[in-house]
Structures are given as C-alpha cells and as structure tokens.
Amino acid sequence: MLYTIARLQNFGCAFLYSALTYPLYRSRLQSLTIEGNTIAIGASVSDKPVGLALAEILGDGSAKLLSIFVESNYRRLGIGTALVNTLEEELILRYCRSIEIIYIADQSTTLALECLLKKCNWPSAKPRMLLCKTTTDDMTNAPWMKLSRLPASYEIFPWVEITPQERLALKKQQEEKQWMASDAIPFDYEQDLEPINSIGLRYKGEVVGWLITHRTAPDTIRYTCSYVRPDIQKMGRIIPLYIRATQLQMEAGISKGTWTVSLMHTSMIAFVKKHMEPYLISLEQSMESSKLLRYS
C-alpha cells in the first residue's frame, strides 16, 4: 500500500489530523508555522490522514516526542517507522541534538511503541516516575491524614503570598547551599499554578517547603512539585502540606487528584507505596528514552 509522509506546515493541512493525537495537543495543530516549536509529521493514504507524529522543540536544543499514532487498519506497513525517521530528519534541520519520549508502562499500546522505537534505533527505556491518581474521598481515609497539627514554630501559607524578600532568600540559599533538588525548585512550576491549594511552609519565619499544584481538568488537580528542606524531611513535615492541600481541594469541591514521584526520591517512593497506595485509584510507572540525533 502506498502512503505519503509529509511535514504539516499550517492548520489548513493539519486540522484533519486532529483525531490522531491526544486532546491536550490538538491546539498545537492550530498554530503550526515553518519556524514554530511544534513539528507535525503526517501520513496519508489517498489523501486520507492515517498517522501523525508530533514533537516539541525545547529551548535547550533538545526535542520531545509528544505523541505518535497510526490508525489500526494501516499498521505493520512501516508507516510508524517512516513518521519517526522523518520527524528526526526535520529536527536535525532545526539543529536539535536529541529527542526524548516519556510514556506509561504496561498499557495496551506499550509493546507496539517499544518495538517501533527499537526499529528506529532508540535506546531501551528506563523507569522514570510513579504516577498516582486518587479522589479526595479516598485519600481522606488514609490514617496519616488524621495526624496532629504542626508545632507553633511552623506556618502553612498560600504560595501566592510568598514575599519578594522570601523569593530572594530562597534563590540565594540555593546558590550557596543547593539544598533544593533540581526537579523541586518551586519557581520552575509557578506558571498557571492552582491558587486554591498551592501552599508553602515556613519554619520560624523562613520558607522551608512548598507544594505547588495545577488544575488539569475542572474536577482534577495535579500535585506537581512538593519538597521540604532536607534537615526536616525525616520529621515528616511534608505530610501536613498534603493534608492541608487536600482539605483545601475538598472545600473547593474538586474531587480528583494526581501526582508524580521521581524514582530518584527513594524516601517519597517508599512513603507512597506504604502509606498511599491502598487509597489510590491507580498507580502507574512512566518510562523515558532519549536518542542523540546524528548529523551527516
């Protein structure tokens, strides 16, 4: 069967491919330009869209493969391989040095995706994060949700009320002591944060922790970034942040919550599996693979 692979350069030729990617990414097809950061490669048979690969060019010279899909009746014809290969060629033309993909393990499509990546000479994927989903009703049944209040020397406050002086102090502390994990710096997650339950923790008047959240759907809040200063981590001071954030979410009538935990944070992984897993709707694991792009 003959098929055509081509870069989609504007919404006029891309809107017919909208059903071939996740709803989250469909708006990207509406703003395609030659020099834009979204690269869309389409596959068609007799002018009918049958496949789509979508990637985003990041500011550091790398790219992320957002989605790839081929309609079931047109699989095993080499279309998926052609989409990935053409996408990589386009990224090289844009001077990208590497491309990565993140996906969920143990899904119905996982095996086919991994076979496709192997054909395209991608390295084997490695575990990346745990993905947790729950409801506020389920989570309130967890015993740790009923723990006593913080000592008087601690204060939980809305993150939107952090002062300019506190921001400067945190940034200076990070420059000098680097006590924040690289993936837990709060200022990296403030765009479009959820003000309802994004909160911070002060100890003796100094900011020592935070929990930054985002609304991903009308009924869902994602707990995006949580961290407390290493010297108080073993005291369990992050737990009151989750308790208070959950309470605020319940008061707002938002029923669902999601969060991720990097596998590099072993203590938090242990806490999730021991104290949270029984109250989750699902517990999944994401995988990641990154490929260096070769220039001829």
pLDDT of 274 reads: 87
Instruction: Give per-residue pLDDT as tens, 66-104.
Output: 999 999 999 999 999 999 999 999 999 999 999 999 999
**Does residue 16 lie within any of the structural domains?**
yes
For the record, the structure tokens of 212 come out as 């930054």
Same-domain check for residues 156 and 270: yes
Cβ-in-10-Å burial (0-12, 13-18, 19+) of 296 comes to exposed
Looking at residue 41, its pLDDT comes to 97
145 with 262, same domain: the answer is yes
Task: Give one DSSP letter per residue of 182-226, joined into a string.
Answer: TT--GGGG-TT--TTT-EEEEETTEEEEEEEEEEEETTEEEEEEE
The reported pLDDT for the residue numbered 263 is 87
Please give the residue range of the domain that contains residue 218. 132-287
Question: Is the same domain home to 140 and 264?
Answer: yes
pLDDT of residue 233: 87
Residues 45 and 153 in one domain: no
Question: 119 and 18, same structural domain?
Answer: yes
Residues 119 and 204 reside in one and the same domain: no
The tens digit of pLDDT for each residue in 100-144 reads: 999 999 888 999 999 999 999 999 999 999 999 999 999 989 888
Q: What is the tally of structural domains in the chain?
A: 2
Domain boundary among 100, 124, 148: 124
Assess whether 50 and 167 both reside in one domain: no
Query: CB 73: neighbour CB atoms within 10 A?
Result: 9
Query: Is residue 148 scored above 70 in pLDDT?
Result: no
Query: Is residue 295 situated within a structural domain?
Result: no
Q: Terminus-to-terminus CA distance in the chain, angstroms? A: 30
pLDDT at 155 over 90: yes
pLDDT at site 5: 96
Q: What is the DSSP letter of 158?
A: E
Per-residue pLDDT tens for 239-276? 999 999 999 999 999 999 999 888 888 888 888 888 88
> Do the domain assignments include residue 191?
yes
Q: Do 229 and 188 fall within a single domain?
A: yes
275 in any annotated domain: yes
**Whole-angstrom distance, CA of residue 289 vs CA of residue 100:** 6
Angle in degrees, CA 76, 80, 81, rounded to 5: 100
We report the CATH number of the domain holding residue 157 as 3.40.630.30
Residues 102, 162: one domain? no
For strand 154-158 and strand 126-135, is the pairing parallel, antiparallel, or unpaired? unpaired
pLDDT at 147 over 80: no
- 292 belongs to a structural domain: no
pLDDT at 296: 59
Which residue among 70, 97, 124 closes a domain?
Answer: 124
Residue that is last in its domain, among 124, 156, 176: 124
Same domain, yes or no: 43 and 152? no
Percent share of the chain, pLDDT over 90: 75
Burial class (CB in 10 A: 0-12, 13-18, 19+), 97: middle
Compute how many other C-beta atoms are within 10 angstroms of the C-beta atom of residue 83: 24
Does the pLDDT at position 25 exceed 80?
yes
Is residue 240 within 8 Å of residue 147, measured between CB atoms?
A: yes
Same domain, 282 and 190: yes
293 part of a folded domain:
no
39 & 83 share domain:
yes
- pTM, two decimals, is 0.73
